[in-house]
Amino acid sequence: MHDVRELIELGPEAVRRLGRRRHRLDLEALGALHRGRVAALEAVDRLRGELKRSSRGGRPTEAAREESRRLREQVQEAEAALRTVELELEEILLGIPNLPLDAVPDGDSEKHAVEVRKGGPPLRPAADQARHHADLGESLGVLDAGRAAALSGARFSVSRGAGARLERALASFLLDLHTREHGYTEYAVPHLVNRETMTGTGQLPKFQEDLFATSVGGRELFLIPTAEVPLTNLVAKELLEAKDLPLAMTARTPCYRAEAGSYGRDTRGVLRLHQFEKVELVRICALEEAQEQLELMVGQVEECLRRLELSYRVVLLPAGDMGFSARMTYDIEVWLPGSDSYREISSVSDCGAFQGRRAGIRHRTAEGRKQPAATLNGSALPIGRTVAALLEQGVQPDGSVLLPEALVPYTGFRRILPGGAVEG
């Protein structure tokens, strides 16, 4: 969320930067609400002062008691007026996305993303491996789309045998890498969170249609779309000390997404599911360190892909294609020969102080000032999409799939054979 005073001070600059995200900022309306809030706050303070002064002195007279009753009513009315204008201002501020950094390119779709670099092994000729992971999963006996549909309908997946073992191995490999080598602390977090928690990271109120919600006994809870939500909010409303920053947190959780507006896209396989597993990274730091931390996180995601021997590329997203809370985002895209394209496997975002303000996460500077903390998040990695890439890039001429050496200590096998047997 934004500080309204900063937006007003930026003025046309804020309008320009938000315009790059196709968001129209009404500065005049925002300014009027801010002035209304200031006036309402001054009225409350003035009336409270009058009420306090009227209660001083000796034995109250009837006239004094009447004056106190009148002032109390005026205070209550002024406080109600203040709450009204504050709620209206908050509603507007909660709907304004983060300001993109000027280093972010213009544009509003993936075609405007700027390629930064490629990594991993060279791409193999398409004729050697152009098979979709959904077909490979069926022939290997590791994916069962039919039973998933019978259980839950479209956009769900069932893994079995070597496929389920591969998913478990991947999660363990990734968590070990991040905790033992990258310095993250692992957490086990709730998969159901309240409205305030969802609001703190920017999922609410704007994206409610994309969330799964439940209400039992009048208690409203939301299924998390990513572990970013509970991890970031672990320190909501806290004041962090400089010596404890940066915080580095990771968790493996299921993620639940309604995927509203995406029907008809990626209907085969495991690329766009309502439920999937993911290992998430979250870092919290001082604002001036956020860009350095962003580059560090991108490198950590790349290290995952290098050890998994996967071909990938890094792209910088344009202003109009970033997530609501981000001010800069790198997408790491893995090569999927079955669809002859690079597809996102991780988004790593610098959110600046945007989520820090919303969630009340502050830190104390070396000079003793209290400031909103910066937050960053990234996928490292989603299990399903990583399995899809391992199948499509690892398929051999005989229809088997060769897995990377780094996973063997976790899987106990190197190769998955047609029908589901394993060896190596």
- Residues acting as catalytic residues: 257, 272, 344, 347, 385
In sequence order, the β-bridge partners of residue 284 are 247, 375
Helix (H, G, I), strand (E, B) or coil at 236: coil
Buried b (16+ CB within 10 A) or exposed e, 279-316: bbbbbbbbbeebbebbebbbebbbbbbeebbbbbbbbb
Residue 195, C-beta contacts closer than 8 angstroms, at least 6 positions apart: 204, 220, 222
Measured over all CA atoms, what is the biggest interatomic distance in the chain, rounded to whole angstroms?
A: 100
In sequence order, the β-bridge partners of residue 216 are 219
Whether 401 and 422 have beta carbons less than 8 Å apart is answered as: no
H or E stretch at 380: strand 374-382
- Residue position matching structure tokens 């039973």: 147
Residue 259, C-beta contacts closer than 8 angstroms, at least 6 positions apart: 155, 210, 272, 273, 274
